[in-house]
Amino acid sequence: MDIYEPPSKNAIVLFDGTDLSAWHKKGDEPATWVIEDGILSCNATGNIMTTELFEDCYIHVEFFIPAEGPGNSGVYLQGRYEIQVLSHDYRDMPDVKVCGAIYDVHAPLQQVQQARETWQSFDIIFRAPRMADGEKADNARITVLHNGMIIHNNVDIPGPTGGHLDVDEGTPGPLMLQDHGGNPVSFRNVWAVHL
């Protein structure tokens, strides 16, 4: 099954299979992940993040976990809130560290991950924290569809998850893809819509 979903008309295409011009590493160093046959793969050179910054947004990302290695990565909204990417056989009971979990905060409502060597997708609706008088008045909220099935429904995220870029929840932030010690994970067809 191929889950490829073309970008919507108003989308910002963040990775179309050709280059990393929309991405960089921390400190604005050039992103150095590998692109081969239109697919972006982490290579133990560190996390990458978009130049584009986001508040409320819709994110679409497709990922692939190969047969070898634990396939550990993550998709970070605003560089602060991680949706876990993990090989399906690493844990088989729902918990806060399985594929699709909001890392260490919320387990997915159901487990719908596919076998290794299968393209999968996350569709994420992100509502940024609300601020009032310089203080956080309302937490971030996330809805996630994994392979087209709802796994988080408007859940409250009390604060940044592990591995975050910063804790400045009142500012826009990038989409970040995690390079977890060079664990092999690939991505394609990454796009976003500002809401």
Residue pLDDT, tens place only, 125-178: 999 999 999 999 999 999 999 999 999 999 999 999 999 999 999 999 999 999
**Residue 115: band (very low, low, confident or very high) from pLDDT cuts 50, 70, 90:** confident
CATH number at residue 79: 2.60.120.560
90 located within any domain: yes
How far are the Cα atoms of 122, 134, 163 from residue 76, in angstroms, in the given order?
12, 23, 9
Q: What is the pLDDT of residue 190?
A: 98
Q: How many structural domains compose the chain?
A: 1
Sign of CA dihedral 176, 22, 192, 44: negative
Mean pLDDT, all residues of the chain: 93
Q: Rounded to 5 degrees, what are φ and ψ at 84?
A: -70, 135
| Tokens at 113, concatenated | 């991950």
pLDDT at residue 94 greater than cutoff 70: no
121 located within any domain: yes
d(CA 180, CA 174): 18
- Per-residue pLDDT tens for 30-51? 999 999 999 999 999 999 999 9
Range of the structural domain that residue 108 is part of: 12-194
2 located within any domain: no
1 located within any domain: no
d(CA 18, CA 164): 27
